[in-house]
């Protein structure tokens, strides 16, 4: 059977997470990975780690591949895609992971090529990615199925949406890991101020986040119910929640999520 050729324009952090997923998946025997990046050291790294064949240029990569990942920074998109104008025929599928780059914008460079636009997140690096995606009307059923199989190699959770929802996905799960790191920073600082060992606090809170996330995924109950179960009357958790409520923490978090969504919208313009 003919192997599917998957090429990466840009082989930085997110591209590596995708390559890692592909290289360790059941699909690996049925595909060949190609990569291009302006950083030669990065190409050497992905060749060694994920058996990605370095292409001589973005042009050569597009010519030789069936599926093309756009994994460059959105600011670099015009400069990278302009010279490739007209090279993407109908048979090729583009999977873009660029934040804020609409299908319409991508197609101004590529023409009416099938595009699947994905908003991934960095936990993909450890095989725990969560993503939202949309597909342009040119994407065939078979191409969508292929794209979804690829997404499954680096995401534990994926949802298909209308493109208008991708800004909110960006605010929920794209930026989401940073919200939890921020929360962890505060917990670790409080522990340190109490003379507690920072390394132990880091592990305790990290595992607590994993455990809480696992409980949310496994349970039919809303997070509010799960929270209430940990909060006994007059206990320590109630005291902590009261302190958060007194500072309107929920509103702060809601405003932050809405600000991220708004910024994603602005970047897309
Ligand atoms: N990181 C996240 O949390 C996250 C989440 C969701 C989506 N994304 C999206 O994923 C994309 C990649 O992000 P990243 O964090 O992986 O960025 P990154 O690590 O900077 O990777 C981008 C790579 O592309 C290279 N590059 C620049 N110009 C190029 C060209 N003309 N041809 C080929 N390669 C070129 C860059 O090299 P130089 O360093 O020399 O410029 C860099 O190695 C972005 O569009 C971002 O919006 C990221």
Query: What DSSP letter does each residue of 162-195 carry, written as one string?
Result: -GGGHHHHIIIIISHHHHHHHHHHHHHHHHHHTT
* Predicted local confidence at residue 90, as pLDDT: 61
Q: Which of 153, 150, 147, 75 is nearest to 115 (CA)?
A: 147
Query: ∠64-59-34 over CA atoms, to 5°?
Result: 45
Which of helix, strand or coil describes residue 55?
A: coil
Return the best residue to mutate from 8, 10, 55, 179 for the ligand 1 pocket (most ligand atoms within 8 A of CB).
10
Q: State whether the beta carbon of 38 lies less than 6 angstroms from ligand 1.
A: yes
Cβ(72) – ligand 1 distance below 6 Å:
yes
Q: Domains of the chain, with CATH numbers?
A: 4-165 (3.40.50.720), 174-268 (1.10.3730.10)
What is the percent of the chain with per-residue pLDDT over 70, rounded to a whole number?
Answer: 100
pLDDT tens digits, one per residue of 14-54: 999 999 999 999 888 999 999 999 999 999 999 999 999 99
Q: What single DSSP character describes residue 25?
A: S
Place of tokens 């809170």: 205
pLDDT tens digit sequence for 210-252: 999 999 999 999 999 999 999 999 999 999 999 999 999 999 9
**pTM score of the predicted model:** 0.93
For residues 27 and 150, the model is more confident at 150
42 alpha carbon – ligand 1 mean position (Å): 11
**96-127 pLDDT, tens digit each:** 999 989 999 999 999 999 999 999 999 999 98
Pocket test for ligand 1, best of 37, 56, 123 (most atoms within 8 A of CB): 37
* Cα dihedral 123, 128, 130, 136 sign: positive
């Amino acid at each position: 059977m003919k192997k599917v050729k998957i090429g990466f324009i840009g082989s930085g952090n997110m591209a590596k997470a995708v390559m890692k997923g592909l290289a360790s998946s059941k699909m690996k025997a049925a595909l060949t990975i190609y990569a291009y990046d302006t950083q030669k050291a990065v190409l050497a790294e992905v060749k060694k780690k994920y058996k990605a064949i370095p292409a001589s240029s973005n042009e050569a990569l597009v010519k030789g591949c069936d599926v093309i990942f756009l994994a460059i920074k959105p600011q670099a998109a015009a400069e990278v895609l302009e010279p490739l104008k007209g090279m993407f025929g109908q048979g090729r599928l583009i999977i873009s992971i660029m934040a804020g780059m609409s299908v319409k914008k991508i197609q101004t460079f590529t023409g009416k090529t099938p595009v699947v636009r994905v908003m991934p997140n960095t936990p993909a690096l450890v095989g725990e990615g969560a993503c939202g995606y949309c597909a342009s009307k040119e994407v065939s059923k078979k191409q969508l199925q292929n794209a979804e199989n690829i997404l499954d190699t680096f995401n534990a959770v994926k949802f298909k949406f209308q493109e208008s929802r991708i800004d909110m996905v960006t605010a929920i799960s794209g930026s989401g890991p940073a919200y939890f790191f921020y929360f962890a920073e505060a917990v670790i600082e409080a522990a340190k101020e109490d003379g507690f060992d920072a390394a132990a606090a880091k592990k305790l809170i990290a595992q607590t986040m994993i455990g809480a996330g696992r409980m949310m995924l496994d349970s039919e109950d809303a997070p509010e119910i799960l929270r209430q179960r940990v909060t006994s009357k007059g206990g320590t958790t109630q005291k902590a929640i009261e302190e958060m409520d007194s500072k309107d923490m929920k509103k702060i978090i809601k405003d932050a999520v809405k600000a991220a969504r708004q910024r994603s919208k602005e970047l897309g313009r």
